[in-house]
Chain A
Amino acid sequence: MSNDIAIIGAGMHPWGKWGHNFVEYGVAAAREALADAGIPWQDVGFVSGGATVRCGYPGYVAGATFAQALGWQGCEVNTSYAACASGSQALAAARNKILAGACDVALVIGADTTPKGFLAPAGGYRPEDPDWVRFYLGITNPTYFALYARRRMDLYGDTLEDFAAVKVKNSLIGSKNPRARYRKCFTAEDVAASAMVADPLRLMDICATSDGGAALIICSADYARRIGKADAPRIAAISTVTPSFASAVVEMPDIATDSAAAAGIEAHSFRAALPVKAYEEAGIGPEDVDVAEVYDLSTALELDWIEDLQLAPRGEAAQLLRRGDTAVGGRIPVNPSGGLACFGEAVPAQALAQVCELTWQLRGECGDRQVAGAKVGITANQGLFGHGSSVIIKR
């Protein structure tokens, strides 16, 4: 029990395209999380921030930026950068600080403001930069997601209708989430009528980028007990493992995979490896999971994640979807928040937003979106440069 870290507060600034400074979103999320926990800001001994690389120097030192915005009070700070897993890495740093006995209460926080237009690499002739190479050769971000989606179609028989059904499912539940950016219910016809971007993915199969901010207050089991929150959801595992060589899936921004030609080297899937450590650390298996928040950068990718989390055998996620198992009310609801389909990605905040949703689900506070009786939740996400994470919380 001494290793249990409690989540006593969660807060989010609604996702959108508000155009404000990222600090504003983070402060709003932090204040909501503090109020949710019912503790004063002065009790926080450690601020662990997820870096945003799009917002200049204050974004590189996000932990300090948020601590200053909330009012310097002498706590310690940390900033983590791990692409889409930045929030989870910041959470892990805070958990470790508490486990080491160096503080009782930590604020974990991430926020971002997305720029307008396409994110393109710097110009010139720079073949040493894989991002420059792939754009020069005509390989954009949707290319990678479309390759994964098409492979599902050819190998497992997934259809365009399956992918559209993921969007329909997520938009229906996301329409009930006041923190989501997109709250319109879309039909399969709406998806089919949207423009093809990278066959088989259409515009409505692919998530947008958003502004947003998310925050958690976590603390030692002793502190939770002292303030009468002994039954708060607990962090059962945080996995932020790197890939294992040789990575067999071509990943953004690379033009080729690792080679698995050397003796003793096997091809590995990074996504599938992420939850393995989380399950081990939590001492549970996929059969114990009640609800999952996964990184649906595309509709088809939600199906990949369901299999990577071992919630369905490889190739069978679409069958779960067709049976309604992954909708709220089904056997294993996936993305009851509405997922990235309804939020759009706010990189340093997104992994924390996933944990916020699970926290509220495990407390039974999600109203129309509630997964009945949820006791164990898992998150999964993957970003660039070998970063990814999977977090398990339980109550």
Chain B
Amino acid sequence: MNEKPQAPAIEGWFTMDDKPRLIGTQCCACGTYFFPKQQRYCKNPDCDSTDFREVQLSRTGRVWSYTNACYKPPAPFVAAEPFEPYTIAAVTLEEEQMTVLGQVVTGVNVSDLKVGMAMELVLEPLHETDDDIKMTWKWRPLAEQGEQH
């Protein structure tokens, strides 16, 4: 068991609890959501609001599409040695009507996924530093689908 403390890979982008959520903003005038956070101007062409509230986004959604990374990305990505390919999904959040990219949890492959599949947000390590384990959001197939136990 690794005894280093966990820390968010990007500060303030998601909650660090058991049921993590991405942290975005919502325009107080028109209701448009933003992730990453947008707090200065609304990108809806029908809206000129400068008033935003911080919100936690839905933690479940459906697969828009998916792929994997077979080659090690360049820095600032910090790769494990040897490099292990990982799966990536774009997941559409219904309430927010937006699609968010992220890695898929370790152990889930491209062959396990399908467009439309229900997914939930979880946290997993992205990489380690000398001081801590940098955690990031990842998508995981929602347990409830298929056979219910």
A residues contacting B by CB (< 8 A) are 118, 120-121, 123-124, 127, 130, 132-140, 142-143, 146-151, 154-155, 195-201, 244-246, 248, 250, 255-265, 267
Contact = CB atoms under 8 A, between A and B. Distances in A.
B5 interface: no
A192 to B, nearest CB: 15
Nearest to B44: A262
A127 B69 contact: no
Nearest to A254: B101
Given A137-B136, A143-B88, A262-B31, A150 B44 contact: no
A147 B66 contact: yes
Given A127-B10, A258-B98, A133 B70 contact: no
Given A137-B102, A261-B33, A245 B69 contact: no
B123 to A, nearest CB: 13
Interface in B52-106: 64-71, 73-77, 86, 88, 90, 95-103
Nearest to A124: B76
Interface string B23-67: 000010011111110000001111100000000000000001111
B7 interface: no
Contact of B27 (A142, A195, A256, A262): A262
A198 B102 CA distance: 14
Contacts of B103: 137-138
B126 interface: yes
Contacts of B16: none
A15 B43 CA distance: 39
B67 A261 contact: no
B110 interface: yes
Contacts of B64: 147, 151, 250
18 contacts: A123-B75, A123-B76, A127-B36, A135-B75, A136-B10, A137-B101, A137-B136, A139-B88, A150-B65, A151-B65, A197-B70, A199-B68, A244-B45, A255-B100, A256-B98, A256-B101, A261-B95, A262-B46
Majority secondary structure of chain A interface residues (helix, strand, loop or mixed): loop
Contact of A155 (B36, B43, B67, B115): B115
Nearest to A141: B73
Contacts of A261: 31-33, 95-98
A330 B100 CA distance: 40
Given A127-B13, A147-B66, A199-B70, A262 B101 contact: no
B75 A250 contact: no
B30 A138 contact: no
A301 B143 CA distance: 33
A154 B114 contact: yes
Contacts, number: 149
Given A199-B68, A246-B97, 4 more contacts: A133-B10, A133-B36, A261-B98, A263-B31
Contacts of B75: 120, 123, 135
A198 B65 contact: no
A143 B90 CA distance: 10
B143 to A, nearest CB: 22
Given A199-B67, A255-B36, A154 B136 contact: no
B59 to A, nearest CB: 14
Nearest to A154: B115
Nearest to B31: A262
Contacts of A118: 74
Contacts of A244: 45
A151 B115 contact: yes
Contacts of A136: 9-10, 76-77, 126
Nearest to A127: B10
A145 to B, nearest CB: 9
Contacts of A139: 73, 88, 101
B44 A245 contact: yes
A264 to B, nearest CB: 6
Contacts of B88: 138-139, 143, 147
A155 to B, nearest CB: 6
